Amino acid sequence: PKGEWFKWKKQPELIDAVLMYAQRGHGKRSSFYSDYTFGLWEQGRLLPIGKAYFGFTDEELTLLDKWVRTHTNERFGPVRGVEVGLVFEIAFDSAHESSRHKSGVALRFPRIHRIRWDKPASEADQLTTLKARISP
């Protein structure tokens, strides 16, 4: 094909999820907890729906690392479980059914869109909200 081509990206989907676990990053981030697992509510409990490693500034990374260190309630290997309390607005391209995940859902290209310091974890989204967005 000849001529000019344009890459058209659709707006990402957004969902509010609760931080569940953190793990140290790699390379220049190896001293920070920068790899995050987040979940959604289902019948009063959190189910993990994905992980994100980017989408925040270096300043936000420092704040998140401090939050993780002061709110850790369990440790297993390199992973720290944290108190329920911090909400991330997660951007993703699409959601799909998955038999590999406890939640039954996998996100395509999840990333942290913003940190919702203002939002209580109890107001994060329900898993049913995400399942309603699954692409046919």
Tens-digit pLDDT profile for residues 6-61: 777 789 999 999 999 999 988 888 889 999 999 999 999 999 999 999 888 899 99
Q: Which residues of 16-41 are buried (b: 16+ CB within 10 A; e: fewer)?
A: bbbbbbbbbbeeebeebbbbbbbbbb
Would you place residue 2 in the very low, low, confident or very high pLDDT band (cuts 50, 70, 90)? low
Contact call for residues 26 and 112 (beta carbons, < 8 A): no
The structure tokens 């344009």 sit at 6
The DSSP string of 14-40 is: EEEEEEEEEEE-SGGGTTSEEEEEEEE
Closest-CA residue to 92 (of 52, 120, 124): 52
Q: CA–CA distance from 134 to each of 97, 108, 124 (Å)?
A: 7, 11, 18
CATH of domain 13-131: 2.40.50.140
pLDDT category of residue 67 using cuts at 50, 70 and 90: very high
